[in-house]
Amino acid sequence: MANIPHQQAKLGGTVLSATAATAGPDSLAPDDRLVLVVQNNDAAAVTVTVTVPGTTRWGQDEPDVTSVSIPAGEMAAVGPFPRALADPSDNLVDVTASSASVNFYAVRA
């Protein structure tokens, strides 16, 4: 499990540092202005799943959010990540990639 640090975007530009995906879940702090850029370095398409904690008022698990399939060699942006997506046990949002050949970049606007 990796903690994905936020990186602040700046008008003059920000050089982004990658966080390699693990077998998951990886986590990040919630932020309404945060976008997670996902770089697929795998030879096949990957998906990224955001785990939504808690249950509905009818006692059913909240549905997880799965991003669109990211083709091999491509990048995608997922977000924002409001506090409602954070797990109450650690106040972090859990993100899982279907392959460890993925880099994460958490960028705050």
How far is 76 from 88, CA to CA, in rounded Å?
A: 27
The pLDDT of residue 65 is 85
Asked if the model's pLDDT at residue 102 lies above 90, the reply is yes
Asked if the model's pLDDT at residue 29 lies above 80, the reply is yes
Asked if the model's pLDDT at residue 66 lies above 80, the reply is no
What is each CA distance from 44 to 40, 53, 74, 103, 104, in whole angstroms? 8, 29, 10, 14, 17
What is each CA distance from 45 to 2, 32, 37, 69, 73, in whole angstroms? 21, 27, 15, 6, 8
Segment 100-109 shows an average pLDDT of 96
Segment 86-91 shows an average pLDDT of 92
Assign domain 6-108 to its CATH architecture: Sandwich (2.60)
